[in-house]
Amino acid sequence: MWITLAILLIICAITYRAGGQGKAPTDKPTWMPMFLRKTWVRDWMIPILVYTWFLIFHHPTQWYGWLMWIPCIALTGGALTTYWDELFGFDNFWFSGFIVAMGAFPLYWAGVHWYSIVIRMVVLAVLWGGWCAIFGKDTTEEYFRGGSIAFTLPLLLI
């Protein structure tokens, strides 16, 4: 489980950065393939990967629990499309992290405890907001935010 989580963390970090990276071939890092530099890569590949990993290690007790994968992907993907600057007037990473983690709420009907979801929401909000308050470089911030989506998944298993 931990090895696959580490691999997922790396993939999510790279995917998150790729989706937010500039679209010119000279934008750094230049090793990032152009086909990954689409915003949908960040917004939709990360939720698919994250919730697929989660369902491999958490087996819902009810048949409909497996269907909760779909709204989790939709909610998390939707949350990844914005930093809520239209609401707050600036990119609010605290709120963004909170809402991205809230995308896991349908897992409640898959047998995940509500408090596990809330704990992850708070942790991801603090991680995103705190990290981005300390660092101002987009690459550092984006790799961390992407990786932390995967890193906090075990919190849903408590």
What would the two tokens of residue 129 be? Answer: 């907001």
Distance CA 41, CA 18 (A): 8
Quick one: pLDDT at residue 35? 73
Distance CA 116, CA 106 (A): 12
Quick one: pLDDT at residue 20? 75
Distance CA 24, CA 133 (A): 28
What is the dihedral sign for C-alpha 129, 130, 136, 139?
negative
Averaged in consecutive runs of 10 residues, what is the pLDDT profile of the chain (158 residues)? Answer: 94 89 72 78 93 90 87 96 87 95 95 96 97 88 95 94
Q: Which residues of 42-69 are buried (b: 16+ CB within 10 A; e: fewer)?
A: bbbbbbebbbebbbeebebeeeebeebb
- pTM assigned to the model: 0.89
Quick one: pLDDT at residue 147? 96
